[in-house]
Chains A and B, each alone.
Chain A
């Protein structure tokens, strides 16, 4: 999992190497690094990194070790890669249950409904979610459809 970090390093030789040690020790793979040596602020140089850690625990360990070394961590957050998915549900009777679905990391960004006089109601649901929540979302929608005797049409590779 990827993390976006900004460190403030003292503008002295050897500081970058010192900061990278806890990252390497915790299995961090540096994807990008920007070392802005020409923009020191009060003797500190900002260094922005994107690092791929094996787990959140590895990331937390690296941050703690950086702090113990007296290195200021200005920013540290997980890079969440979001995917947009479209679903169609046919025959849903209780729309409220879809709208009120609360799944962590899943956001409904679009809803289109066709209510023909003869046929069942058809709903197109557009959601934005992080990749890890896709299976949870599909299972949730499938259960919801089954409960209401409705048909869920999921994207081909969801």
Chain B
């Protein structure tokens, strides 16, 4: 199968590194597997015979490559059916989902399998995109979009096919968990913990997307729609961030054997808010870790813990890629049904 990578930022570059390291394994699944194109915001590389991955690892910017075509776009390549799978890894945009939404729509409408860690299109148009994938008998997989390396969608899709999820809760943002953990263990203020997170590159210079709970709310919407068959939108989520949390509140909680964590919950409604979590609860993980606690009618309670951002996300993207490669030539792809 022929892979097109759209987006050559952090995720795109880390994916290329992982593809280089795992190429012989991938070719043991599909001997014709090759990367035929990589697109960044200003142009692309395309080689129908396959791009030499080792060459790519020597450059930091795609434009440094000798075959780089300035001015070309992903739409040019998608429009000519030059690939079978697209990894869409452009930056998340929750206002209109672009440019990812247009890329994914075009790919799916042409029967190209899509793998994406990009939350924007999934938050804004989940049902539409799943229906498009179903109609065109191709896969839309997005394991990396929520809680990075935690295989929550794969777990439910493959291992909980007969279970009905009745409630889901989780720590879905590593940045806020890092800040709250530092306040809990080091007894420092919110402002100092945030500054420390920014210096370590864990928080953005403008941290509002994380600390005001918007990132966690986006993930909650995707989880609700994908795993529980809801028709949720971002506006449906009651969102409270962690800006107002004081060191004194953390101390009071700690003395009563609780930690304060930013928790996303899907119950009757959707909510992201700081909550008191008993320190012995399986969801009470620290640092940049994420955790997802699923309650179902049959299995009852399952907790998943892992890293939610950074290069660990490549694990999820690669697993989605292998899922598509293994199913090539088999019966048509269809969306998982929800109990």
Q: Enumerate chain A interface residues (CB-CB to B < 8 A).
A: 86-88, 90-91, 112, 114, 116, 119-120, 122-124, 126, 151, 153-157
Contact = CB atoms under 8 A, between A and B. Distances in A.
Given A88-B276, A122-B248, A156-B263, 6 more contacts: A124-B253, A151-B245, A153-B260, A154-B273, A155-B258, A156-B283
A123 B169 CA distance: 25
B148 to A, nearest CB: 22
B249 A116 contact: no
A90 B276 contact: no
Given A153-B276, A154-B276, A122 B240 contact: no
Contacts of B275: 153-156
A88 B249 contact: yes
B263 A124 contact: no
B244 interface: yes
Contacts of A123: 252
B256 interface: yes
Nearest to A151: B244
Interface in B232-255: 240, 244-249, 251-253, 255
Contact of B246 (A86, A90, A155): A90
Contacts of A157: 169
B277 interface: yes
User: Of residues B247, B252, B278, which shows the largest number of chain A Cβ atoms within 10 Å of its Cβ?
Assistant: B252
Contact of B245 (A86, A87, A90, A112): A90
B281 interface: yes
B246 A119 contact: yes
B184 to A, nearest CB: 13
Contacts of B252: 88, 112, 114, 122-124
A150 to B, nearest CB: 8
Contacts of B247: 116, 119
Most chain B beta carbons < 10 A, residue from A86, A119, A156: A156
A85 B31 CA distance: 59
Contacts of B277: 156
Interface of B: 169, 240, 244-249, 251-253, 255-256, 258, 260-261, 263, 265, 273-278, 281, 283
A122 B276 CA distance: 14
A14 to B, nearest CB: 43
B255 to A, nearest CB: 8
Nearest 10 Cβ contacts at the A-B interface: A122-B248, A114-B248, A124-B252, A151-B244, A122-B249, A156-B275, A119-B246, A155-B276, A156-B277, A88-B249
Contacts of A87: 276
B173 to A, nearest CB: 16
A119 B240 contact: no
Given A151-B240, A153-B274, A155-B276, A124 B246 contact: no
Contact of A122 (B246, B274, B278): B246
Contacts of B276: 86-88, 153-156
Contacts of A156: 169, 261, 263, 265, 275-278, 281, 283
Among B247, B249, B258, residue most surrounded by chain A Cβ atoms (within 10 Å): B249
B260 A88 contact: yes
Contacts of B281: 156
Contacts of B248: 90, 114, 116, 119, 122
Contacts of A90: 244-246, 248-249
Nearest to A123: B252
29 contacts: A86-B253, A87-B276, A88-B253, A88-B276, A90-B244, A90-B245, A90-B246, A90-B248, A90-B249, A91-B244, A112-B255, A114-B252, A116-B246, A120-B246, A122-B249, A124-B253, A151-B240, A151-B244, A153-B245, A153-B249, A153-B253, A153-B260, A153-B273, A153-B276, A154-B276, A156-B169, A156-B276, A156-B281, A156-B283
